[in-house]
Amino acid sequence: MSAAATHHDQAHDHADEHGHAHVPTYLETLRANRLGLWLFCISEVFLFVALIVVRFALWGNTRPELDQALGLATTSVLLISSYFMVRAEVAIAHGDRDKFLNSLLVTFVLGVLFLVGVVGFEWGLFGITFGDHELLKPTDGAFGAVFFGMTGIHALHVVSGLFLILMVYINGRRGGYSTERHWGVEACAIYWHYVDVVWVFFYPILYLIGTPVH
């Protein structure tokens, strides 16, 4: 029996041995976790801003020719996934367990679709083609570097977000979350929305701003 796991009132015996073991309540842990996650988000802002700065430094007011339909499609897919994520969170907070799980599943599928859009079509990684636009190559100077760098870093976050969703889904099926205690869902949701917010900036910055160079 460890002192950390014992209830506060019963911790007196252990106090002599280990000192004052403050056992944080769920709400206290929640507060710390929330703060920590948000600080992590702020920290990551500097990574993404660095990438954006690189984009503006190297591209200036130009951009490569990219498939606009594909860009709008991936953006929409990610936005819809974000909606289903928040729907899942609202559902668990109000005890709708089925709705929670279904929404989570939809989020996951949409996230995978986004990856297919970016990594599959836009990168042409699996040789799948979309429309007839010419694909940008990673070695195409600053255009290739920045585009693949930014979408790559973002895709990495999407992949890790998908892992989180999968984890939450599995735990959710086992009944790991309740109306009162679902920090895991909240954390996963914050992360997923965060990935979406990043794309909210990346989309115009990569696809819309500047004059295309042929």
Partner 1 sequence: MRQLRILFSLGIVWALIGQAAGAAAGLFLVRAIRAAANLPPSAEAELVIAAMFSVFGSLLFSGVLTDWLKWCVGIETPLRHGDPDGLPAWTRYFSVDYNHKVIGIQYGVTSIIVLLVGGILAIIFRLELSWPGEQFLTPESYNTIFSAHGIIMIASILLGVGAMVNYLVPMMIGASDMAFPRLNAFSYWIAIPSAILIMAGMVIGDGWETGWVGYPPLSTIDGSPLGTQLFILGFYFNGFSSIAGAINLLVTVMIMRAKGMSLWRMPIFVWAAIATSLIQFTATQTVGAAQLMVTTQRVLKLGFFDPTFSNGLGWPAGDPILYQHLFWFYSHPVVYVFVLPGLGIISELLPVYSRKPLFGYKWVALSSLGIALVGFLVWAHHMFTSGMADVLRIPFMLATLLVAIPTGVKFFSWVGTIWGGKVTFETPMLFVLGAISVFLIGGLTGPILGTIPTDLHLHDSYWVVGHFHATMFGGFVFPFFAAIYYWYPKITGHMYNERLGKIHFWLMTPGFWLMSLGQMQVGIWGMRRRIYDYDPALGIEFTHALITLSALIIGWSVLIMIYNLITSSRTERVAAINPWGSRSPEWQVPSPLPEFNYYRPFEVVGEPYDYGVPGSVYVRDVPAAGD
Partner 2 sequence: MEEKKSQAYQLIFTIFLVLAFLTLVEYLVSQYLDSMILLLLIAFLKAGLIVNYFMHVYRLWREESH
Where do contacts with partner 2 occur on this chain (CB under 8 A)?
A: 27, 30-31, 34-35, 38, 61, 68, 72, 75-76, 79-80, 82-83, 85-87, 90, 93-94, 96, 180, 186, 189-190, 193-194, 196-197, 200-201, 203-205, 207-211
Residues between 116 and 155 with contacts to partner 1, criterion CB under 8 A: 138-146, 148-149, 152-153
The owner of tokens 């988000």 is: 41
Q: Does 5 bind partner 1 (CB under 8 A)?
A: yes
34 or 76: CB nearest partner 1? 34
Question: Cα separation of 201 and 35, whole Å?
Answer: 24
CA–CA dist 200, 46 (Å, integer): 16
Dist. CA 77–CA 75, nearest whole Å: 5
When the beta carbons of 145 and 209 are compared against partner 2, the nearer one is: 209
Among the listed residues 127, 174, 180, 211, the single contact to partner 1 using CB under 8 A: 174
Task: Please identify which residue in 3, 70, 112, 200 interacts with partner 1, judged by CB under 8 A.
Answer: 3
Alpha helix positions (H), 116-140: none
Which among partner 2, partner 1, none contacts residue 148 (Cβ within 5 to 8 A by kind)? partner 1
The DSSP output letter for 64 is E
Angle at 97 between CA 96 and CA 103, to 5 degrees: 90
Residue 47 binds partner 1, judged by CB under 8 A: yes
Name residue 63's beta-bridge partners: 212
Please identify, using beta-carbon distances, which residue of 81 and 155 lies nearer to partner 2: 81
What dihedral angle (degrees, nearest 10) is formed by the CA atoms of 115, 99, 92, 84?
Answer: 30
Contact between residue 93 and residue 182 where contact means Cβ atoms under 8 Å apart: yes
Contact 197, 47 (CB under 8 A): no
- For residues 168 and 96, the answer to whether their CB atoms sit within 8 Å is no
- CB of 77 or CB of 199, closer to partner 1: 199
Q: Which stretch binds partner 1 (CB under 8 A): 18-26, 83-91, 103-111, 125-133?
A: 18-26
Tokens of residue 179, six digits: 């109306």
Structure tokens at 90: 């609202």
Least distance to partner 1, CB of residue 87, Å = 23
Is residue 212 within the footprint of partner 1 (CB under 8 A)?
Answer: no
Q: Which parts of this chain interact with partner 1 (CB under 8 A)? A: 2-5, 15-22, 28, 31-32, 35-36, 39-40, 42-47, 49-51, 53-54, 57-60, 62, 64, 138-146, 148-149, 152-153, 167, 170-171, 174, 176, 213-214
